[in-house]
């Protein structure tokens, strides 16, 4: 059992016996059931720092998206000296630490793939050190090169045709959330001691592959922990011991996260769930008379400012897929405990309040773990923040808690993971809509005319019926699921080998649970296309030369997903269940547990571009609906009918998440601010009791979007943030194509 003077005043036993942050929280946190009236504005220091940071962000944007880049230093925990937002203001920073030595300067991170590291420099106008290029090309294999060496021709073809898309094979896979709270609660020395114990208990002496690999991984983790101490020392902190007060707790937790983003450039680098944990330190300091509300809010503001600064070097094609430079520094607040008490503390308010103190922002990806049983004051404040900033998303605690317990984090855009106990192998998306076209065309890609899938028999009828297409589609889906999972197996094998997340894994239990997250793209169009085949008359339009089906003439009405019409919604259920069952029968790497998702981020535009015309009436190359959203124009019965359709998809069939994005016109939400808040709370209560999984809420009108698209230079749009499928983004940072797509989908609330 460990004892530290820094723990004075804390209750509980188990968390002193083993690394167990959840137990610590449950014994020491204080639920807050009041309203937002205690919140305070930014301090002078916050204003100054935020002002300085905004100037840098403006400059970054003016320079085309990159402010500065490292070209000579390979990023590691110890590679850079201390860095601050501004040298003159550094005394004001209550939470310190940058990825490199300068603010918004992007690190050189070659381990995910040297080519991408080089290209991202060159595309931004920088030339990486030739010696580094040589080392990582000739002497040291990187993740991406290893993956491509092992790919089969079929995998390459599927990747190229975009039937499998967004694979993490050129950069870090992300979605692994270290339990950064452990740094504050235990200090690094305890964590090293515990990992050493694990090392000595690793296997029985027989050197199987698994035991050898684990011994190596634990060693890497211990080395990372040692380096974290060195990293903190550069800023003048000794994190070998537990944090003694609130300021140290914020700082220690941030150092844990900083270690992750210095060493990994994953697509999603979530912060996790830290508000309730940190509130315990705030409350203790306040009781001791060491901290005021202003100072507490300042700590939160300064920490969040750091989360707003996370940057990675990316190539242009990546930016087209995920517009607006997102890093998914996802930070979850709210939720309830297994004992029924809400986990909401004053700190949960404070984190949301950063969106008022420093204005709207896409990062951190603020996520509210929602339940209608959360205190009224908190739900109202969440709704207020949605209405005024459109920067937060909601996820249903009531459906996630039974699966992940009460200390889960959101590890990506919407996917849950048990904090410190579980990791997720991220797996991009399979384009089920393209698979439908492959089924019709015998595995030949409708765009490239290449034989991508096996040459199954094509459908030659002039009029297509579901009876005829269904067996072909099932065969094609089965092929796709197998290829997809195998491709991911290969990628994750190489990632573990060449780009292992030592710093994050050091803050996760050695005996870790692994999930394997697949994903679906083109969902609603698939459902509507199947419905068209079933209920309308669909004629195949063929290319005169090669007989390939390149278009469809659909006559007659057919039910569409998004109208609470069981005929369409049952197709949606069938499709999801069919696909996840096909995924589940595959072997998955390291015995991970397979799941799937219906979320596409902004990539719905790029995926759509690569997909031909479909029987639901979607045109060749037109954007797909994002995530689990109904097709554009399909919703004929208003928002709630649409939400009811989404809610019919059982979360347990798509444990990686079903993302829904909706925009509501403020005028139609109610006449006064109070009415709008009350109505939005009621909407959220109803939706999550349905019980659905996820909702992005935007509150603004079409006119504002159009004006922002035409006049991005206006001051009021500099930080104008909107929720898109899976994350928040500054609207002016989207490509014009994506802006038009967002505008076309806006919005609910006709008069």
Mind telling me the catalytic residues? 412-413
Q: Which is nearer to another protein, 448 or 682 (CB)?
A: 682
Q: Where does this chain touch another protein (CB under 8 A) — which range of 263-271, 591-599, 674-682, 699-707?
A: 674-682
CA atoms within 13 A on the CB side of 494: 26
706 binds another protein (CB under 8 A): no
Helix axes 432-441, 523-535, angle to 10 degrees: 40
Q: Which stretch binds another protein (CB under 8 A): 247-255, 262-270, 439-447, 665-673?
A: 665-673
Instruction: Find out whether 628 and 660 touch, Cβ atoms under 8 Å.
Output: yes
54 binds another protein (CB under 8 A): no
Residue 536: CB minimum distance to another protein, A: 15
State residue 428 phi and psi, 5-degree precision. 50, -145
CB of 416 to another protein, least distance (A): 23
679 vs 108: CA distance, rounded Å: 48
CB-count burial class (<10 Å; 0-12, 13-18, 19+) for 593:
middle
Q: Round to whole Å and give the CA distance between 75 and 110.
A: 8
Residue closer to another protein by CB (options 465, 671) is: 671
Residue 131, CB-side half-sphere exposure with 13 Å CA sphere: 3
Number of chain residues interacting with another protein (CB under 8 A): 26
**Per-residue binder mask for another protein (CB under 8 A), 577-616, x = binder:** ----------------------------------------
Residues 531-570 that bind another protein (CB under 8 A): 564
DSSP-assigned beta bridge partners for residue 315: none
Residues pairing with 333 in the sheet: 368
* CB closer to another protein out of 127 and 673: 673
Note whether 506 and 195 are within 8 A (CB). yes
| 304 makes contact with another protein (CB under 8 A) | no
Q: Is the CB of residue 222 less than 8 Å from the CB of residue 191?
A: no
Quick check: 1 binds another protein (CB under 8 A)?
A: no
Among 257, 264, 261, 255, residue whose Cα is nearest residue 234: 255
Among residues 295, 298, 282, 254, which one has the least CA distance to residue 46?
298
Cα–Cα dist 590/495, whole Å: 12
373, 336 in Cβ contact below 8 A?
yes
β-bridge pairing 520-521 and 429-431: parallel
748 lies in the binding site for another protein (CB under 8 A): yes
Determine, following the binding rule CB under 8 A, whether residue 573 of this chain makes contact with another protein.
no
Question: Which range in 96-104, 355-363, 544-552, 662-670 contacts another protein by CB under 8 A?
Answer: 662-670
Give the nearest distance from C-beta 751 to another protein in angstroms.
6
User: Which of 78, 123, 679, 735 is in the footprint of another protein by CB under 8 A?
Assistant: 679
* Nearest of 514, 518, 625 to residue 579 by alpha carbon: 518
The reply to whether 749 sits near another protein by the rule CB under 8 A is yes
* Contacts with 707 (C-beta within 8 Å, 6 or more apart), sequence order: 714, 717
Instruction: For another protein, give the closer residue by CB, 636 or 652.
Output: 636
And the tokens for 31? 């639920």
Stretch that binds another protein, among 120-128, 254-262, 343-351, 677-685 (CB under 8 A): 677-685
Instruction: Determine, following the binding rule CB under 8 A, whether residue 380 of this chain makes contact with another protein.
Output: no
Among 133, 510, 690, 735, binds another protein (CB under 8 A): 690
Q: Dump strand ranges (E) for 292-436.
A: 331-334, 366-370, 393-396, 408-410, 416-418, 422-426, 429-431
What does the DSSP assignment read for 59-89?
HHHHTTS-SEEEEEEE--TTSS----S-TTT
Q: Which is nearer to another protein, 532 or 580 (CB)?
A: 532
Region binding another protein by CB under 8 A among candidate stretches 271-279, 468-476, 485-493, 634-642: 634-642
* Of 230, 463, 671, 673, the one binding another protein by CB under 8 A: 671
Question: Does residue 669 touch another protein according to CB under 8 A?
Answer: yes
Residues 464-503: x/- map of binding to another protein (CB under 8 A)? ----------------------------------------
Verify binding: residue 629, another protein, rule CB under 8 A.
Answer: no
What is the closest distance, in whole angstroms, from the C-beta atom of residue 634 to another protein in the complex?
Answer: 14
Among 375, 670, 701, 712, the residue binding another protein under the rule CB under 8 A is 670
- List the one residue from 198, 685, 707, 737 that touches another protein (CB under 8 A): 685
- Which residues of the shown chain bind another protein in the complex (CB under 8 A)? 564, 636-642, 644, 668-671, 678-679, 682-683, 685-687, 689-690, 748-751
């Amino acid at each position: 059992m460990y004892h530290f003077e820094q723990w004075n005043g804390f209750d509980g036993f188990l968390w002193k016996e083993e690394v167990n942050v959840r137990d610590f929280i449950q014994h020491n946190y204080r639920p807050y059931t009041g309203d937002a009236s205690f919140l305070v504005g930014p301090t002078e220091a916050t204003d100054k720092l935020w002002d300085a940071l905004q100037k840098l962000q403006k400059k970054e944007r003016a320079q085309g998206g990159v402010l500065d880049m490292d070209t000579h230093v390979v990023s590691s925990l110890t590679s850079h000296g201390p860095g601050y937002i501004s040298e003159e203001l550094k005394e004001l920073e209550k939470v310190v630490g940058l990825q490199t030595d300068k603010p918004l300067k992007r690190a050189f991170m070659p381990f995910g793939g040297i080519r991408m590291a080089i290209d991202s420099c060159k595309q931004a106008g920088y030339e990486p050190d030739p010696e580094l290029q040589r080392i990582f090309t000739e002497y040291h294999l990187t993740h991406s090169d290893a993956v491509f060496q092992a790919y089969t021709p079929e995998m390459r073809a599927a990747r190229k045709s975009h039937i499998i898309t967004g694979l993490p094979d050129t950069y870090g896979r992300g979605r692994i959330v270290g339990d950064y709270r452990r740094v504050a609660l235990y200090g690094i020395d305890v964590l090293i001691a515990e990992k050493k114990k694990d090392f000595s208990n690793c296997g029985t002496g027989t050197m199987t592959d698994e035991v050898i690999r684990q011994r190596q991984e634990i060693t890497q983790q211990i080395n990372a922990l040692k380096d974290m101490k060195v990293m903190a020392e550069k800023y003048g902190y000794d994190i070998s011991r537990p944090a003694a007060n609130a300021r140290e707790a914020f700082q220690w937790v941030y150092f844990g996260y900083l270690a992750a983003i210095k060493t990994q450039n994953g697509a999603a680098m979530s912060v996790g769930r830290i508000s309730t944990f940190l509130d315990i330190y705030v409350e203790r300091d306040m009781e001791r008379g060491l901290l005021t509300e202003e100072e507490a809010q300042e700590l939160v503001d300064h920490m969040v400012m750091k989360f707003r600064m996370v940057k990675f070097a990316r190539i242009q094609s990546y930016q087209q897929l995920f517009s607006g430079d997102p890093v998914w520094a996802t930070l979850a607040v709210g939720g309830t405990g297994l004992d029924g008490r809400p986990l909401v503390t004053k700190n949960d308010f404070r984190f949301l309040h950063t969106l008022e103190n420093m204005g709207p922002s896409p990062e951190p990806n603020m996520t509210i773990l929602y339940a209608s049983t959360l205190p009224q004051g908190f739900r109202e404040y969440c709704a207020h923040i949605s209405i005024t900033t459109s920067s937060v998303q909601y996820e249903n605690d009531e459906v996630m808690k039974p699966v992940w317990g009460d200390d889960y984090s959101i590890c990506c855009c919407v996917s849950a993971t048990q904090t410190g106990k579980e990791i997720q192998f991220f797996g991009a998306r399979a384009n089920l809509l393209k698979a439908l076209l492959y089924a019709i065309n015998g595995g030949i890609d409708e765009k490239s005319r290449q034989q991508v899938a096996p040459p199954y028999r094509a459908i030659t009828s002039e009029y297509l019926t579901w009876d005829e297409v269904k067996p072909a589609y099932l065969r094609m889906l089965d092929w796709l699921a197998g290829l997809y999972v195998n491709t991911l197996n290969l990628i994750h094998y190489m990632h573990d080998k060449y780009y292992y997340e030592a710093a994050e894994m050091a803050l996760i239990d050695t005996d870790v649970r692994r999930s394997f997250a697949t994903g679906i793209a083109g969902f609603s169009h698939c459902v509507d296309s199947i419905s068209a085949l079933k209920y309308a008359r669909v004629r195949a339009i063929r290319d005169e030369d090669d007989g390939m089906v390149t278009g469809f003439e659909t006559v007659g009405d057919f039910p569409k997903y998004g109208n609470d019409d069981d005929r369409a919604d049952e197709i949606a259920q069938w499709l999801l269940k069919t696909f996840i069952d096909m995924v589940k029968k595959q072997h998955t790497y390291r015995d991970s547990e397979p799941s799937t998702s219906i979320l596409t981020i902004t990539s719905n535009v790029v995926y759509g571009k690569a997909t031909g015309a479909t029987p639901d009436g979607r045109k060749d190359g037109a954007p797909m609906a994002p995530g689990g959203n109904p097709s554009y124009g399909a919703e004929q019965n208003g928002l709630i009918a649409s939400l009811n359709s989404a809610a019919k998809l059982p979360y347990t069939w798509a444990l990686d998440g079903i993302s829904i994005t909706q925009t509501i016109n403020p005028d139609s939400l109610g006449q006064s601010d109070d009415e709008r808040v009350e109505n939005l709370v009621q909407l959220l209560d109803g939706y999550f009791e349905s019980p659905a999984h996820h909702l992005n809420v935007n509150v603004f009108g079409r006119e504002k979007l159009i004006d922002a698209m035409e006049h991005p230079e206006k001051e009021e749009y500099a930080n104008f943030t909107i929720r898109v499928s899976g994350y928040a983004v500054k609207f002016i940072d989207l490509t014009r194509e994506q802006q038009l797509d967002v505008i076309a989908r806006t919005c609910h609330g006709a008069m």
